[in-house]
Amino acid sequence: MGFLTDWITNIILLILLATILELMIPNSVLQKYVKMVVGLLLLVMILQPILSLITKDVDQWLVSITQQSNQLESSIEQEINLQKSDIELGLRAYISEQMAVQLEEEVKDELRDQYEVVISQVEVKIRESVNQTPTAEDIEAVIVYLKDTHEGLTESDAAVAPVSVVKIDTSKQVPQEMKQETRDLTSVRRLLSTNWEVPEEMISLAWEGGE
């Protein structure tokens, strides 16, 4: 309402100003120019509300375009980050699998000859920031599942059965055979640590089908 009042007031003032100028200026060529200028000003004044609406719509349109552009950019960035994360996870899984195969190949003969055990499965956990050519320093943990060679190797050995980690409570008395098994595991862990150049505390051993 205030805008409409100001608009009408400005038109009235402009008309009054034009009338006064027409009375003050004698009838001459100059008076024609004054009328033309005043007429143009009056036209602009009359069109001011329409011009204001157009300007306002343009501003809103620009703001809307900017917001949509920002939302689209944010959505694209999130999609790229998600795809990047999926690729990194897949790459880490592949690297872990390849490292597990390599680690098993390095020690399988020695384990069979010295301790009469074979590796059923190796799980390698590596750092998140690992590159495509990891080293032993990139390893966070290694879980090794063992089985006795006397159990025999068949084609079904490729499907690893559920295993349980052997936990030893040193605060309690344990049977002699359990002590021997613990010593064997300690020796196996030491052998793996030496061959893999991985600290012993990062290596966990488990017997396949252990209780």
pLDDT per residue as tens digits for the range 147-204: 887 765 444 444 444 444 444 454 544 444 444 555 578 889 999 999 998 899 999 9
Q: Establish if 56 belongs to a structural domain.
A: no
Q: Establish if 129 belongs to a structural domain.
A: yes
What is the per-residue pLDDT for 95?
A: 86
pLDDT in tens, 114-151: 888 899 999 998 887 766 667 778 888 999 999 887 76
Q: Establish if 154 belongs to a structural domain.
A: yes
Mean per-residue pLDDT for 1-19?
74
pLDDT in tens, 193-203: 999 988 999 99
Q: Establish if 39 belongs to a structural domain.
A: no
Q: Establish if 84 belongs to a structural domain.
A: no
Q: Establish if 149 belongs to a structural domain.
A: yes
Domain count, the chain: 1
Q: Establish if 94 belongs to a structural domain.
A: no
Q: Establish if 176 belongs to a structural domain.
A: yes
HEC string of the chain equals CHHHHHHHHHHHHHHHHHHHHHHHCCCCHHHHHHHHHHHHHHHHHHHHHHHHHHHHHHHHHHHHHHHHHHHHHHHHHHHHHHHHHHHHHHHHHHHHHHHHHHHHHHHHHHHHHHHCEEEEEEEEEECCCCCCCCCHHHEEEEEEEEEEHHHCCCHHHHCCCCEEECCCCCCCCCCHHHHHHHHHHHHHHHHHHHHHCCCHHHEEEEEECCC
Residue-number span of the structural domain to which 132 is assigned: 106-208
